[in-house]
Structure 1
Amino acid sequence: MRLENVSIRNFRLLRRVSIDLAQDKTTTIFVGPNNSGKTSVMEALQLFIGFANETPKISFHDLSQLRHRDLRRIEVLLAAEGDPEKRTAILKRFAPRMRLDLTFAYDEDQADLVAATQLLMDLTPGTSKVRMRIDYTLENAKNLLDEFEARPRKDLSLCEYLKDTFRDHFKRIFFKVSLDGKEVEKLDDGGLLKSLLRIDIVPAQRHVDDDEGIRSAKLSKLLHDHYQRFYQLDDAAGYQAIEDALTQSADDLTDKYGKAFGRLTTRLQSFGYPPGQKAPDLRVRAELSAETIYRDNARIYYASEHAGKGGVMEEFELPEKYNGLGYKNLIYIVLQFESFRAAIEATQGDKPRVHIIGIEEPEAHLHPQMQTVFISEISKALETDGGTTAQVLMSTHSSHMIAHSEFEPVRYFRRVGRQVIMQDLSKLPLPENDPDLLGFLRRYIRLTHCDLFFADKAIFIEGQVERLLLPMMIEEQAKVAGCETLSSQYISISEVGGAYAHKFKPIIEFLGIPSLIITDLDSVDDNNEKCPVAEGKGTSNVCLRSWIPAKANIDELMACNDAEKTQGCIRIAYQVSQNGQCGRSFEEAFIYANVPWLTANHAKLSTTKAAIKKAVDAGIVAEAWTLSAKLAKVDFALDLINSPGWVIPLYIQQGLKWLAEHPAR
């Protein structure tokens, strides 16, 4: 059995989110900027499911802020209605609720069929899915109304009143639901959940320090949990041997304690007791248990080797706290996996058919190579023999993990106002006339470790010069009034080349990230040969011709206004006339924008000094077209980095200004 879909409504920022879990992989990956709802998905599962005999720790603050207006609306309606029954009906009708829907896919396994039968709503042959719903909703409208009206402070609003009493009036109610959602049948309780699903979470804040003051957080405590919950079951004879050894050691220590404290007990007896009472016989016994030894006396040491005298390898050990945080983090996660597995195997009776493990930011302290290995090793660590299907929900900010997971398991979260939008990259719309596009995007992400999924905004650039100089340009543009946000937002910069920028159209539009594409005008003559813009008839730039602004004629491109260069959350920037001239490439446009600076400062340059001096002597404006073709791109960029003070070409200024003013999603 597998959990195929999780749908959440009105939980924090998750106003209405439906998540299909990865079908062909163990792990579904949640990515997106901070505070975009990734952790809330895991916490919703944990809070709503728990176990049937637990009281969920859901609070008023877990209710979506957009639903608080329902409570304010109820107060207005109640104030205008005097009939008690109608007032109760109003509260019952408009009271907000939180909801979790779970869709399971099952096969012909006997245990699967037993669990699924209790949720079946459709007997059509071939049906292999069932759906369960958990509502956290108002239990008794009349009781809430009576208690609210009897509140000591009459100035307390319904929202304020519920902040402290929410759990008293809102409870879990369980339903089985048809796959289309049209048929709903209430269940007696949530007991069925225990046989269907178990949720475990490895939180982002993991205490892995070997601090004497916080022994409860030590890895040695996790080792004891592993010993007690796993080793005891897996190797009963070995477990008993350890316990017998502890008992024998305790007996030996008791004999030695008796001799060590003999003088003390004799001295106590000499003081005597009141007449008729036996003198105290103080006995000291050693009591040893695996729990106290692991918790308070066991220490993890890391063994290593070094070359001693004569080149002989000698072994030495270092305490736990001397090992790197990355390895401690990895050990912690693996131990948690084993602990979760042991808990399922120790379950009496029917084991849960699905085991969901939520892992928050496993990349903490792990170097990039270890991050890429982690994503491929998860499934091996979760192998079980109990028939339970283990699935992982993993949130990450690691572009390395994303790069090695392809697109199918990635779910992209972004915040829009007071709610979250989730995009399923396995459903990325692709043009039918480009069957190789998905493969191209996968390879690009893998090779560049693209951080696009975590960015507030994105810039796609054409060449190496722009890539090297753009950070300086952003820093300078952020000093301009209205562009200050550029310095505080996380902007992803990707080098895509002029011939490939249009291939990113599906993913940019799908993710909805405000994006600036900086490209070249690439003017050509009637023979499709490179030429100065003044002599150009068309453009060879595929992005300009086929995407934005979808024009091929140079004159039309030069005449485009800002609106024509914008499509939704995407803006394109290419060379425009500056100081009476228009360049074909970045280098040529830079020359026209910086004639005075190049004339005055060319001697400060290094590699490109001679070529620029020659052009300045011959008239740099007239020589700009020829000079731009001669300049070594990387050398030119490095010279400019080393000699600040130049002016950003106008078309890039305009593009950065648009990006700064466009609100981040």
Structure 2
Amino acid sequence: MLNDRKRGGQMKLENIIIENYRQFDTAELAFDQGITILAGANNSGKTSLINLIRSVFVDEKNDYSVSDIPAKNMQEWIDWGYPVFADFFKSGKSVDTIDAELVNLIIPEDDTVPSHLMNTTCVKIHVSYDPDIDDIKMFADYIMDLDEEVHDFYFLFDYEVTRSKFLRAITENYDKLKRRFDEIEEDKIKVLSSSDKNLENNIEVKERYLKQLIVSIYVKSMVTFGYFCDKEFKNKCRFDDIKEFRKLFHFCFIKASRPLDDDELDHSHMLSKQMIRMVKLDDGWNELVERLPDELLKPIQEKKIDKTVRDTSLKSLKDTINALEQTNGGKSGELMLDMQVTEDDISELLQRITTATYNVDGYYLGESSQGLGYSNMIYIHLQLKEYEKGVDPLKVNMFFLEEPESHMHPQMQQVFIKYLMDYYHTKLQGLITTHSNEMVRTVGLSHLRVIRHAGNFKSKLYDLSTLLKDLKKSENLSDKELANFFDWFFEIGYSEIVFADKAIFYEGDTERLFIRKAMTLEKYKKLSQQYVAFIQVGGAYAKNYEKLIRLLGIKSLIITDIDYEKEKLTVADIEDSTITNATIKHFYSLNHPTDNALVKNLYAWKNTKENIMDNLIYICFQTDHDGYARTLEEAMLNKYFSMSVTDLYKKSEWVQKRNDSKLDFSIPNKKNDKKISDEDMVSIRDILASTSGNKTDFMYSVIMNGYVENIMPEYIDGGLLWLMQ
């Protein structure tokens, strides 16, 4: 649908740095040559960033409000400013002294005296160009670096309080502010002679609302300014008019909520309207539309339809006219209906009745026939096509598409995002926001930016492409292998980690079944209320996720088997045994780079909680508290039967245990080609060797018999409780 056109002569938006905006202290959003993906869970801040970008580059109206400033910044300023206001109003100073006695303390007229300003939002913009193909005549006046090797422009968009507006706002609110300060002082005097707690609480409430009023006065005194700057954003020159800044950019915003007409109750015909907007760009269509009103008007005039309407209405209204004549002295005249049909009326009618239809085997189906997802996709294509036709090579061109996955099934999401990525690879820049696992999985790390919650009312933006670039540039072979691993990791569908609150890494299907069921228990209820990503990975590869975990700050539990030498069956031999698990060995070496990862050393490592890295990564494996188990199944049986791997039982005793417990495990009949009798001693390791091909059935028997809580190994319990914190 979108034509194939080579990119050329277009300025590139390199990045935008946003400071002090809502939940973001600082957020740097770097843009790729083609499509950049901004992923994040719902309410993470994606829409907030898009709204700010729209406000900076497009919107004429300044809608900046108190809610756009980080709460911490407001609190810091009002903690300083409230006493200043209180001193002024408590001293009984008149309105005429506001400038000299109040405003001058906050925004001094003397430029050499520091101001006390709130840290409000500013946006830093970096634009680059190719001197061989880009025409920079619109940008030429904003060059700040005369180095011929530098091909960049830097801009700053700022929300600043102006002294004159601040003075005027305080003056307008003088009486209100004075009245409120006086009320608070009166209440404080009453408190001295009263023990009424409600009075104290009332003072706190009044002070809180008064602080909010002062902050709102400050924010309403703010205006927007644009600057062109040097690379450090230190030396800057203000645009005479903010419109001069905005005319350098051609940005298109396609909103997330699109009222599409896929419901018979919805007659908005949004898809049709968008198609009409598109065809209006074609001269042939416009010529047709210009001719049609006149051609349709002719038969109406020739058949004298207007006369027929007048005559018929006159007959129909005869009784009404007679009644009117009896009440107004016979002065009603001939009351009738008439038709005033003009070309404009017909043109408007054509607009209303022209709708999108699908031709399927000769049948014409309406907009609602193909489903919301399909209509949504067509609507986006049309919007992008319209934007593409308006691209201006002298400006910075960029489109912003919010959550296109709306109403699309996973396969459609995958095909659609892949098409957009391929089509715009070197043609136009665009940013697509999403909370879809499928879209993140398809685009991979190289184009991905992620927004994640970072505490109460805080979000952080992460550039995952830098992780991949750094690994690929590294001379270390293991880093290059890790880069390939991450590409594969996203392809197989583990992309949900970027949206998750927390992550659990596990080895196999049995662990997954057991942990998911465990999270339904009351003990771990808090975990089930959070978004936990489940990542299946063997002990040899779990360590590969460390860089990603640390980058995104995802609290992660890595559940893995200690895997010491299988033939070791005594405590002494087990403790002196080595292990094969590469993940445990890697994390142990971070604390003990020169020590061997012997089992006894690992037990001590876990006992001292060194297996918890920066309260971010918990390495979870079996210990002596799990009966010296080396696998999950060993630990579970040890817990249920109150035993350890060193214990031996007769075969007949194992049969009895199986019958009593109804657990599905196998009991060997032979060992080393020798038949095992009922009186022969059998170890738990013999049991599990015989059950190795039937682990899933064993786990189902645990779950179906309701044993999950009673059979929970200590090492997993400890890990889940830590993750729940």
Please give the range of the TM-score, normalised by the shorter of the 2 chains.
0.7 to 0.9
Task: Tell me which residue corresponds to 2:63.
Answer: 57
Task: Tell me which residue corresponds to 1:17.
Answer: 27
**Which letter maps to 1:11?**
Y
**Which letter maps to 1:546?**
H
Q: Which runs of 5+ in 2 are unaligned?
A: 1-10, 92-96, 108-114, 182-205, 591-595, 644-653
CA displacement at 1:210 relative to structure 2: 4.1
Rounded to whole Å, the distance in 2 between the matches of 1:470 and 1:620 is 35
Instruction: Give 1:391-540 correspondences, 5 Å limit.
Output: 391-417=429-455, 418-428=457-467, 430=471, 432-434=476-478, 435-476=480-521, 479-480=522-523, 483-524=524-565, 531-532=568-569, 534=571, 535-536=573-574, 537-540=577-580
Task: Tell me which residue corresponds to 2:699.
Answer: 637
Rounded to whole Å, the distance in 2 between the matches of 1:171 and 1:538 is 67
Task: Tell me which residue corresponds to 1:659.
Answer: 723
CA displacement at 1:502 relative to structure 2: 0.8
Q: Does 1:145 align with 2:170?
A: yes
Give per-residue Cα distances to partners, 1:90-134, cap 9 Å, x unaligned: 333223222111110112267641122222111111111111111
**Which letter maps to 2:689?**
A
SS of the aligned residue for 1:58 comes to: coil
Is contact 2:156–2:233 with CA below 8 Å preserved after alignment?
no
Aligned match for 1:591, one of 616, 630, 637: 637
SS of the aligned residue for 1:188 comes to: coil
Change (3 A) 1:125 1:507: same
CA displacement at 1:617 relative to structure 2: 9.6
Is contact 2:539–2:560 with CA below 8 Å preserved after alignment?
yes
Superposition CA RMSD, Å? 3.6
CA displacement at 1:164 relative to structure 2: 6.3
Rounded to whole Å, the distance in 2 between the matches of 1:21 and 1:617 is 71
CA displacement at 1:217 relative to structure 2: 5.8
Instruction: Give 1:120-519 correspondences, 5 Å limit.
Output: 120-140=143-163, 141-151=166-176, 153-154=179-180, 159-161=211-213, 168-211=220-263, 214-216=266-268, 218-228=270-280, 230=281, 235-256=282-303, 257-258=305-306, 260-261=308-309, 263-264=311-312, 282-285=338-341, 287=343, 292-293=348-349, 296-305=352-361, 315-342=362-389, 344=390, 353-378=395-420, 390-417=428-455, 418-428=457-467, 430=471, 432-434=476-478, 435-476=480-521, 479-480=522-523, 483-519=524-560
Change (3 A) 1:76 1:212: farther
Task: Tell me which residue corresponds to 1:32.
Answer: 40
Give the structure-2-normalised TM-score: 0.78
SS of the aligned residue for 1:48 comes to: helix
Rounded to whole Å, the distance in 2 between the matches of 1:601 and 1:149 is 84
Q: Which runs of 5+ in 1 are unaligned?
A: 306-314
Change (3 A) 1:240 1:498: same
Q: Does 1:6 align with 2:16?
A: yes
Rounded to whole Å, the distance in 2 between the matches of 1:573 and 1:400 is 30
Identity %: 25
CA displacement at 1:205 relative to structure 2: 1.9
Change (3 A) 1:562 1:371: farther
Rounded to whole Å, the distance in 2 between the matches of 1:405 and 1:283 is 59
Instruction: Give 1:573-584 correspondences, 5 Å limit.
Output: 573-578=620-625, 581-584=627-630
**Which letter maps to 1:85?**
A
CA displacement at 1:656 relative to structure 2: 0.4
Change (3 A) 1:10 1:161: same
Give the structure-1-normalised TM-score: 0.84
Rounded to whole Å, the distance in 2 between the matches of 1:383 and 1:596 is 61
**Which letter maps to 2:143?**
L
CA displacement at 1:184 relative to structure 2: 1.4
Is contact 1:407–1:426 with CA below 8 Å preserved after alignment?
yes
CA displacement at 1:28 relative to structure 2: 1.3
Task: Tell me which residue corresponds to 1:312.
Answer: none
Task: Tell me which residue corresponds to 1:309.
Answer: none
Between 95-104 and 541-550, the greater mean CA deviation after superposition: 541-550
CA displacement at 1:268 relative to structure 2: 11
**Which letter maps to 1:624?**
I
Rounded to whole Å, the distance in 1 between the matches of 2:245 and 2:601 is 64
Q: Which has the larger radius of gyration?
A: 2
**Which letter maps to 1:628?**
L
**Which letter maps to 1:240?**
E
Between 493-502 and 581-590, the greater mean CA deviation after superposition: 581-590
Change (3 A) 1:78 1:262: closer
Rounded to whole Å, the distance in 1 between the matches of 2:498 and 2:350 is 42
Give per-residue Cα distances to partners, 1:385-411, cap 9 Å, x unaligned: xxxx73222221212211221212211
Rounded to whole Å, the distance in 2 between the matches of 1:383 and 1:577 is 55
**Which letter maps to 1:357?**
F
Between 619-628 and 495-504, the greater mean CA deviation after superposition: 619-628
Between 616-625 and 128-137, the greater mean CA deviation after superposition: 616-625
Rounded to whole Å, the distance in 1 between the matches of 2:553 and 2:150 is 36
Change (3 A) 1:360 1:622: farther
SS of the aligned residue for 2:224 comes to: strand
The aligned length equals 624
**Which letter maps to 1:302?**
Y
